[in-house]
A and B are shown apart, each in its own frame.
Chain A
Amino acid sequence: MKFEVPNILATGKVNILLKIIALSIFSGFSLGYLIFYSIFPELSAPFQNEFSSLYLILVLVIIGIIIGILLEEIEWCLVGTLGIVASAALFSSLIFSSPGMSGELISLDVSSDIFMMIRLSLPHAIMSFIVIFLISFFGIHLNDTYLTPDPRPFKEWEDRNEERSE
Chain B
Amino acid sequence: MNERSSSRIRKFCWAFIISIFLVTMTFSIMTMDNYTQIAKAKHLTTVELDMEPEIFYVDDNQDDIDHVTVLASFTISNPSNMRLSIWTLSCLVYLRDLPAENGLNASRASRDLTIKTSDGVQYYYGALKAYEFYTDKVIHIEPNSNVTEYLMLEVGLGDRDVNDDRTLMVLNDIHDHSSENDLELEWYGYARLIIFIDDIPKEYGALSDSHVIIREARWWSL
Contacts and interface: CB of A to CB of B under 8 A. Distances in A.
Contacts, number: 105
Residue among A46, A148, A149 with most chain B CB within 10 A: A149
A116 B30 CA distance: 22
B43 interface: yes
Given A66-B17, A69-B10, A148-B6, A99 B39 contact: yes
Query: Which secondary structure dominates where chain B touches chain A?
Result: helix
Which 4 A-B pairs rank lowest in CB-CB distance, beginning with the nearest?
A99-B39, A45-B30, A147-B6, A98-B32
A109 B32 CA distance: 17
Interface of B: 1-3, 5-6, 9-10, 13-14, 16-18, 20-21, 23-25, 27-28, 30-32, 34-36, 38-40, 43-44, 79, 199, 201, 204, 206
Contact of B34 (A29, A45, A96): A45
A23 B32 contact: no
A138 interface: no
Interface residues of A, number: 40
A57 to B, nearest CB: 15
Residue among B2, B25, B31, B39 with most chain A CB within 10 A: B31
A96 to B, nearest CB: 8
A108 interface: yes
B43 A95 contact: no
A42 to B, nearest CB: 6
